[in-house]
Amino acid sequence: MRKYVNNPPEIDGIRVVQDGLDIMKALVTGETVLHWEFGNSMFPILMSGEYCKIRPITNPNEVNIGDPVFCSFQGQYFMVHRCIDKVERDGAMWFKIGTTGNTVYGWTDEVYGIAEPTNIFQEGEPPVEESEKEEK
């Protein structure tokens, strides 16, 4: 059964974080966070409006092909995208990142966490980031 919430600061004792840079900082320090995903790029793994729990990785080998991951790609912090492939090169693990559909973004060696669905959904409209508020 789905649970619906309205922009809580935490759920079940886990902090809710929407900003990509703040998510990365939390993961780097070992904190597991929740993030409200929207859009259909990760359907059916994650549904639009669903919170996902993002746990930090301590070793790149924890990431498996098919896992939804939080990563940085070409300076952008993607909320969550899927690991399509992985290879070791030059002493580092590299991950091919894309959607559950046919979109492939490319390779990155900056994967910070693995996401999982929660079956907890946000009521209402997607949150507006501070930078989006300034543009309006």
- Tell me the torsion sign for CA atoms 101, 109, 120, 23: negative
Asked if residues 42 and 99 have their Cβ atoms less than 8 Å apart, the reply is yes
pTM of the full predicted structure? 0.88
User: What integer is the mean pLDDT of 106-115?
Assistant: 95
In 3-state terms, what secondary structure has residue 2? coil
More confident residue, 1 or 31: 31
User: What pLDDT, in 10s, does the model give residues 9-58?
Assistant: 999 999 999 999 999 999 999 999 999 988 999 999 999 999 999 999 99
Residue 131: pLDDT band (50, 70, 90) is very low
Domain ranges of the chain: 3-126
- Tell me what pLDDT residue 135 has: 43
- Peptide bond preceding 9 in cis form (omega within 30 of 0): no
- List the beta bridge partners of residue 121: 4, 50
Number of H helices, E strands in the chain: 2, 10
The class of domain 3-126 in CATH terms is: mainly beta
Percentage of residues in the chain having pLDDT higher than 70 = 91
Average pLDDT score over the chain: 90
